[in-house]
Amino acid sequence: MSAVIDPTAALDLLKFDSNGLVAAIAQQHDSGEVLMMAWMNRDAVIETLATGQVCYWSRSRSRLWRKGESSGQRQRLVDFRIDCDGDTVLLCVDQEGVACHTGRRHCFYTAVRPEGLVEIAPVLVSPDQLYGA
């Protein structure tokens, strides 16, 4: 997505929760791999559509979180989609490096299997490398 997009129509369609947030799922645009889930507020939606770089709302830090600002693992927006209820967005992205703060490609690395919990994705980059020790 190279052009700046007017966010007005998207903001009118989105149904933010009582905290002013909407769920956002990031998916690798070309493989369909689900990378992560996070939250966006109005400002994060506006910034994402204006810049083409994905921005979320960090509930733990209570501030905007520009994906990759400290790790360098950025997400470039390819397509912004809104679900039928308007309460979830699908961000089709081009993920630079890993998406998970644990150093894995995606955040969904624990599978529940008959034998118990199984880690199905390896750590590709140590968190110390990503964020500095």
The annotated binding site for Zn(2+) is made up of: 84, 100, 107
Q: 63-66 and 55-58: which strand pairing? A: antiparallel
User: Which residues contribute to the annotated binding site for Mg(2+)?
Assistant: 83, 85, 87
Tokens of 7: 């966010």
Q: What are phi and psi of 125, to 5 degrees?
A: -140, 130
Q: Annotated binding residues, as ranges?
A: 83-85, 87, 100, 107
